[in-house]
Amino acid sequence: MTAVVEENTASSAPESQAGAVASFEVTLRIRRYNPEVSAEPTWEEHTVTAYGTDRVLDALHKIKWETDGSLTFRRSCAHGVCGSDAMRINGRNRLACKTLLKDINPDKPITVEPIKGLPVVKDLVVDMEPFFASYREIMPFLVTSGNEPSREHLQSQADRDRFDDTTKCILCAACTSSCPVFWTDGQYFGPAAIVNAHRFIFDSRDEAATQRLEILNDKEGVWRCRTTFNCTEACPRGIEVTKAIQEVKRAMITRAF
Amino acid sequence: MAQTDATPLVASPRSPYVRRKTTRGNFELYSWVFMRASGVVLVALIFGHLFVNLMVGDGVHAIDFAFVAGKWASPFWQVWDLLMLWLAMIHGTNGVRTIINDYAQRDLTRGVLKSLLYLAFTLTVVLGTLVIFTFDPCPPEAPAELLASFCTA
Ligand code: HEM
Ligand code: SF4
Ligand code: FES
């Protein structure tokens, strides 16, 4: 890798070489916030050189490492697995590590903001605690009896498929923070909590479905969902979030009538 | 480290975001089902109403005081209109209640808006129901010049 780069820089026109990755200038318009300096957030623009293979996260790294070390954001895996870098990019919730710059029109400044509806701590870092509090409330663990530790809990492929979609959640909060009902007062459980409840409610090995349905049959539970589909559009894992919410609603209705 | 005094106090960002209380119960479930059920019934009631008033016979040109009086002389249309009034009012009020819950950010705003909503609901439903049941096109003690032509005929 290093050798190739050196070879490229040595030659006169790296751009013209076969297999060379095109580079371009891109401007990021970032919403900065530091409560120790000002109570008001400000917009700041940074222009960096990026490559066709670069993601928004790479551009943020470049700014943080080369221009302004005070830029604050979360990231861990950098490969769409850990769920720590959900942010509002050009007005849509995405993972910075899964969004290629070339896919979101780098000719115009790209806006980068913290996800909405959760309190901002600094720059792109929000306080995730209210989000995880809702997650904990729905009991995100298997509740079951029998077969203690010695034997497996068997499950058919069809039973596993029933909740396969909702097992993919990485708890990035892109869905919950894209929901206008959540934005209003942050009291709604939010799509992510419902998705993770769905993962256990429809698991044939789990025995606490009734309890989870009761928890979500709340004024701030599934009935606040207005089916706007923002969550489904936002989910970086492609989970059909609105559908999962709807299935939980249906389970409650069949139980009540 | 004498600067500790100058360090600004940053309030915990979390405080207003914690869910305040548990509000479990079937109310929102029934309300959700009611919106759908009443919606289906309203389609039949509203389009039946529009068809009979605007399209049958002379259509819209036939609507006058006598037309309404004639309809409310029949228990069938009394029940139809009563159902339409009640269902549309409960459905509409519940819909606006949802909208207030979704958009009002402060409890006080929410409370004021909902009080106004329920007041408007009560007034409309009580007056509407009263009119449907007590409607008399030719009250006997009214002066003759105020009466519709068909009362004296
Ligand atoms: C023509 C037949 C009708 C049907 C099929 C119908 C159906 C529905 C349904 C299913 C909802 C729930 C939407 C949701 O939960 O997201 C709704 C909401 C609502 N309806 Fe109706 N409705 C009808 C007539 C009416 C009438 C006559 C009024 C006014 C008096 C009305 C006012 C509302 C309001 C204000 C909402 C709340 C809006 C919202 O939740 O986004 N509807 N309607
Ligand atoms: S459902 Fe999707 S958008 Fe929501 S927290 Fe899980 S991975 Fe993120
Ligand atoms: S950094 Fe882990 S998901 Fe993006």
Amino acid at B31: S
B17 domain-assigned: no
Residue from B4, B17, B103 to probe the interface with A (highest A Cβ count within 10 Å):
B17
B74 domain-assigned: yes
Minimal Cβ distance to A130: which of B8, B14, B30: B14
Minimal Cβ distance to B17: which of A130, A180, A256: A130
Q: Which of A77, A93, A128 to mutate to test the pocket of ligand 3 (most atoms within 8 A of CB)?
A: A77
pLDDT score recorded for residue B151: 78
How far does the centroid of ligand 1 lie from the alpha carbon of residue B47, in Å? Answer: 15
Query: What are the Cα distances from residue B51, in Å, to A7, A150, B57, B78?
Result: 81, 70, 10, 17
pLDDT exceeds 80 at position A50: yes
Task: Tell me what percent of the residues of chain B surpass a pLDDT of 90.
Answer: 54
B100 domain-assigned: yes
In this prediction, residues B14-32 reach a mean pLDDT of 83
pLDDT score recorded for residue A13: 47
Structure tokens at A183: 């934005």
In this prediction, residues A225-253 reach a mean pLDDT of 97
B28 shares contact with chain A (CB less than 8 Å): yes
User: A60 to chain B nearest CA, in Å?
Assistant: 25
Contact (Cβ atoms closer than 8 angstroms) between residue A45 and residue A27? yes
B21 domain-assigned: no
B27 contact residues in A (CB cutoff 8 A): 219
B53 domain-assigned: yes
Contact B20 A221 (CB under 8 A): no
B22 contact residues in A (CB cutoff 8 A): 218
- Going by CA atoms, what residue is nearest to atom 3 of ligand 2? A235
Radius of gyration of chain B (CA): 26
Containing H/E element for B52? helix B27-54
> How many whole angstroms separate alpha carbon A99 and alpha carbon A236?
10
B18 domain-assigned: no
Domains and CATH numbers, chain A: 23-126 (3.10.20.30), 129-143+157-254 (1.10.1060.10)
SS3 of chain A: the string is: CHHHHHHHHHCCCHHHCCCCCCEEEEEEEEEECCCCCCCCCEEEEEEEEEECCCEHHHHHHHHHHHHCCCCCCCCCCCCCCCCCCEEEECCEEEEHHHCEHHHHCCCCCEEEECCCCCCEEECCEECCHHHHHHHHHCCCCCCCCCCCCCCCCCCCHHHHHCCCHHHHCCCCCCCHHHCHHHHHHCCCCCHHHHHHHHHHHCCCCCCCHHHHHHHHCECCCHHHCCCCCHHHHHCCCCCCHHHHHHHHHHHHHHHHC
Range of the domain at B40: 27-151
Residue A184 burial (CB < 10 Å; 0-12/13-18/19+)? Answer: middle
pLDDT digits (tens, 9 = 90+) for A194-222: 999 999 999 999 999 999 999 999 999 99
* B106 contact partners, CB below 8 Å, separation of at least 6: none
Residue B57: pLDDT band (50, 70, 90) is: confident
pLDDT score recorded for residue B65: 84
pLDDT exceeds 70 at position A8: no
Look over chain A and give the mean of its residue pLDDT values, rounded to a whole number.
91
B102 contact residues in A (CB cutoff 8 A): 180-181, 184, 224, 226
Q: Mutual orientation of helices A241-256 and B27-54 as an angle, nearest 10°?
A: 90
Task: Tell me what percent of the residues of chain A surpass a pLDDT of 70.
Answer: 93
Choose among A90, A136, A87, A140: nearest CA to A114: A87
pLDDT digits (tens, 9 = 90+) for A55-114: 999 999 999 999 999 999 999 999 999 999 999 999 999 999 999 999 999 999 999 999
B14 domain-assigned: no
Residue of B nearest to A214 (CA): B24
3-class DSSP state of B138: coil
Range in A15-19, A41-45, A187-191 with the lowest mean pLDDT: A15-19
> How many whole angstroms separate alpha carbon A198 and alpha carbon A114?
27
Choose among A254, A249, A237, A125: nearest CA to A197: A249
How far does the centroid of ligand 1 lie from the alpha carbon of residue B94, in Å? Answer: 9
B40 domain-assigned: yes
B105 shares contact with chain A (CB less than 8 Å): yes
Residue B14: pLDDT band (50, 70, 90) is: low
3-class DSSP state of B136: coil
Residue A1: pLDDT band (50, 70, 90) is: very low
In this prediction, residues A40-69 reach a mean pLDDT of 96
Length of chain B: 153
pLDDT digits (tens, 9 = 90+) for A100-146: 999 999 999 999 999 999 999 999 999 999 999 999 999 999 999 87
B:37-96 residues touching chain A, CB 8 A cutoff: none
The interface pTM score, or ipTM, of the predicted complex is 0.81
Contact (Cβ atoms closer than 8 angstroms) between residue A1 and residue A21? no
Note the pTM of the prediction, 2 decimals. Answer: 0.86
pLDDT exceeds 70 at position B120: yes
Minimal Cβ distance to A133: which of B18, B30, B103: B18
Residue of A nearest to B8 (CA): A36
* Residues flanking ligand 1, CB < 6 Å: A 226; B 35-36, 39, 42-43, 46, 88, 91-92, 95-96, 98-99
Minimal Cβ distance to A187: which of B10, B20, B26: B20
pLDDT exceeds 60 at position A257: yes
pLDDT score recorded for residue A2: 44
Contact (Cβ atoms closer than 8 angstroms) between residue B94 and residue B137? no
Tally of domains in chain B: 1
CATH number of the structural domain spanning residue B52: 1.20.1300.10
In this prediction, residues B58-87 reach a mean pLDDT of 90
